[in-house]
Structure 1
């Protein structure tokens, strides 16, 4: 976590972690797209501004709501289907930054690398971001366990790319 100059209200966190899944990267990739996360993330409901928008197309925009019902706007910045995707993420008057997910094949499936680069825009958000940063490893570990639970329960996977 880095704080801004004296008098600033925000802070920045650059966070990285990774985990492995027993899926080929091309099969796992869609789990980390707007529509793919609906399969395994409880409460994840992306709302697209354009009907039938392609959630892999650079420039596509959608919105989600957090547990306090604050909107978060997402924009696809870069996408290499099957390999990686980078999103801009703006929670108005709270945090702004990017989320990057990259996948590589491994002998038993794939490695998923997740990076959040977020800046808090208020003092309250800075405290919230610090808590998020402190719990980031557990947060990413929860992604893995939730996906594995979904798979073990026979949960549906999105179409691979």
Structure 2
């Protein structure tokens, strides 16, 4: 398999302080700006940013299982994620205060699990900067 693993980091700006912006990157918080984002929690959850929290999402006819690996509210959250027969890895979101807004670094570390998935992951890697631009636009529109 070629190009089976990618580490992608990009940045975006959110016009909120980190303590408020953090919520936008949690399972429930993403519902405010991600169309059709409907996390399903197999067990009752009070704090969806608590390490050990498990949820699933459904998109493109696939189910992805997410696990909160660690988090520091207002600063950082990291997820492990697995989409069977497609990819596995982590997503890390780090927030840094910058005046009256927040600089957000988003890192995807993904490994393709099949040859077809490797091709799809390479296309995702190529489009990653545009992908994060859509995040920044969607968050700005949802916040206005």
How far is 1:21 from its partner? 1.4
Decide which of 55, 72, 76 is 2:68's aligned counterpart: 76
How far is 1:112 from its partner? 0.5
For the pair 1:28 / 2:30, whether they are aligned, the reply is no
How far is 1:54 from its partner? 2.4
**Aligned ranges for residues 49-60 of structure 1 at < 5 Å?**
49-60=42-53
How far is 1:22 from its partner? 1.2
Decide which of 49, 54, 61 is 1:61's aligned counterpart: 54
Deviations 1:32-79 (A, max 9, x none): 000000111001000001023421111110100112x21000000011
Structure 2 unaligned spans of 5+: none
Give the whole-Å Cα distance in 1 for the aligned partners of 2:46 and 2:119. 35
**Aligned ranges for residues 124-139 of structure 1 at < 5 Å?**
124-139=116-131
2:21 match: secondary structure: helix
Taking a change above 3 Å as real, the CA distance of residues 123 and 53 of structure 1, as seen in their structure-2 partners, is: farther
For the pair 1:93 / 2:93, whether they are aligned, the reply is no
Give the whole-Å Cα distance in 1 for the aligned partners of 2:81 and 2:3. 16
> Structure 2 length as normaliser, TM-score?
0.96
Bigger Rg, which one: 1
Structure 1 unaligned spans of 5+: 1-7, 153-161
Equivalent residue for 1:47? 40
Taking a change above 3 Å as real, the CA distance of residues 9 and 71 of structure 1, as seen in their structure-2 partners, is: farther
1:99 match: secondary structure: strand
The count of residues paired between Structure 1 and Structure 2 equals 144
Structure 1 segments, 4+ long, off by >3 Å, are: none
Decide which of 80, 91, 100 is 1:108's aligned counterpart: 100
